[in-house]
Structure 1
Amino acid sequence: MTDRPALRRREPAVAPEASAASHLRFIRETMERTGTFTAVPGWGGVAMGATAFVAAAVAARQPTVADWLTVWTAEALVGLLIGAWATVLKARRGGAALLSGQGRKFLLGLLPALLVGVALTLAVYGYDLAPGTYAREAPLATVSRHLLPGVWLLTYGAGVLAAGAFSIRPVPLMGSLFMLLGALALLAPPAWGDAFMAAGFGGLHVVFGVLIARNHGG
C-alpha cells in the first residue's frame, strides 16, 4: 500500500488592499509604541506661562489664604484647559494618537503626580482651617502659603519629568527645573512663594514653550 502525499491546506486568498492596510496598521502601531510623543504644545505653553504671570501678580495681593488659594486654583484650571486644547490641536495636525501608544504613556506619566498635588493641597489647606490656626490673621505665614508653592512646583515637575521619558528632549529638562524651583521654594521665606510660582509656571512655560515651538512645531 503506497502512502498518499499529505494534503496541504489552502490558505484563503487575501486581497492586496487588505494586506497593504494590515501592514500599514502594523507599522503605525509599532511607531507609536517605540517613538516619542511630539504633541507637547509650544505656543500653548507660552499662553499658560502668560496666565501664570497674571495669577502671581493677583495672588500676591490677596489678604487671606482662602483668597490666595482661589486665585491659584482658577489659574490651574485655566492652564489645564489651555494645555489640553493646545495638545489636542497639535496632535490632530501631526496625526499623533493621544489615548494610545506614546500619547497614553505620556498621560499616565503626568497624571499620578498631579493627583498627588491635589491630595497634598487639600491636606495642607485643611490644616490651616483647623481651630487655633492663624490663616486670616497672618496669611503670609500660614502653612499653605509656605508649603504649597513648593509642593505644586515639585509635583508638577515630577509629572512632567515622568511624562517626558516618552516625549521630546526639552520636556524632562523642564520637569527637572520645576522640581529644582520647588525644592528652593520650600526652603525660602513664605513671602517668596508667588515669585517662585511666577518663575516656574510663568517663566519656564514661556521659555520652553518658545523652544518647543521653534524646534518641534507650535
Structure 2
Amino acid sequence: MPSAKTVSLDMHAMATLRYIRESMDAAGCVAVPGSAGIAMGMVGLAAMVLSLLPDLAQHWFAIWVAAGPIAALAGALLMTRSTSVVSFIATGTPGRKLLLGLIPCLFAGAVLTAVLWKANDIGAIPGAWLLLYGCSLISASAFIKMIVAWMGACFVALGVIAFMVPESLHVALLGLGFGGLHILFGILIGRDAHGR
C-alpha cells in the first residue's frame, strides 16, 4: 500500500512536469496582441469601402496595394509594443523561424501579383492574396498561437472561393478576409490573452 508521501511526491512530479512543459511552450511561442489584428482589419475594411465607391471602383487594385503596407506597418508597430515579441525576436532562432514561416508565402504572393498584373489577369490576384496569406499564417502558427492556424485556414478557404466566384465579388471577399477575419481573430486573441 503506497504511503501518503508517495502520492504527494507523484502529484508534485506531475505538477513540475506540467510547469516545465508550459514553460517550454511559452519559450517557443510569441504572444501576438489582438490589437495588431484589429488594426490591420480596420485598414482592410477601409480599403474595401474605398474600393466599393463608384468613383474609385476601377482603382481597387491600387487601393489594396497601398493598404497592404499600411496594414503591415500598423500591425508591426503594435506587435513591437509587446515585450514577448521583442524578447522572442531578440533571442535569435525563434525569431528567424517565425520569419521563415511568414516570408516565403508573402514573397510568393508579391511575385505572383507582379506576374498576374503583367499578364493583365488581375482578376486572379484576390484569390492568390487570400490563399497565400492564409498559407503564411498556417506556417507561422508553429511559432505563434494555434488560433492563428485557424485564421490561416479561413483565409485559404476564402482564397479558394475567390477563384470560383465572379470578379464582382472579389473586393467583398478581400474585405471579409483582410478586414473581417483580422478583426474577428484579433478580438478572439485579445480575449484569450485576458483569460476571458
Q: TM-score range by the shorter chain?
A: 0.7 to 0.9
Query: Which of 160, 173, 187 is the equivalent residue of 2:164?
Result: 187
TM-score of the superposed pair, with normalisation by structure 2: 0.79
Match of 2:87 in 1: 96
Match of 2:48 in 1: 56
Is the counterpart of residue 112 in structure 1 residue 104 in structure 2? yes
User: How far has the Cα of 1:41 moved from its partner?
Assistant: 2.5
Is the counterpart of residue 162 in structure 1 residue 154 in structure 2? no
User: How much identity, in percent, do the aligned residues show?
Assistant: 35
Partner of 1:168, secondary structure, is coil
Structure 1 stretches lacking a partner, 5+ long:
1-26, 129-142
Is the counterpart of residue 87 in structure 1 residue 79 in structure 2? yes
Partner of 1:98, secondary structure, is helix
Query: Which of 161, 181, 185 is the equivalent residue of 1:208?
Result: 185
- Residue 136 of structure 2 aligns with an amino acid whose one-letter code is G
Partner of 1:147, secondary structure, is helix
Structure 2 stretches lacking a partner, 5+ long:
1-19
User: How far has the Cα of 1:95 moved from its partner?
Assistant: 5.8
What CA distance in whole angstroms lies between the structure 2 residues aligned with 1:31 and 1:191?
48
Q: Is contact 1:151–1:182 with CA below 8 Å preserved after alignment?
A: yes
Paired positions, count = 170
Q: Is contact 1:37–1:103 with CA below 8 Å preserved after alignment?
A: no
Q: 1:208/1:36 Cα in 2 relative to 1: closer, same or farther (>3 Å)?
A: farther
Q: Is contact 1:38–1:216 with CA below 8 Å preserved after alignment?
A: no
Q: Is contact 1:110–1:160 with CA below 8 Å preserved after alignment?
A: yes
User: How far has the Cα of 1:115 moved from its partner?
Assistant: 0.4
**Higher radius of gyration, 1 or 2:** 1
Q: 1:124/1:94 Cα in 2 relative to 1: closer, same or farther (>3 Å)?
A: closer
What CA distance in whole angstroms lies between the structure 2 residues aligned with 1:181 and 1:195?
11
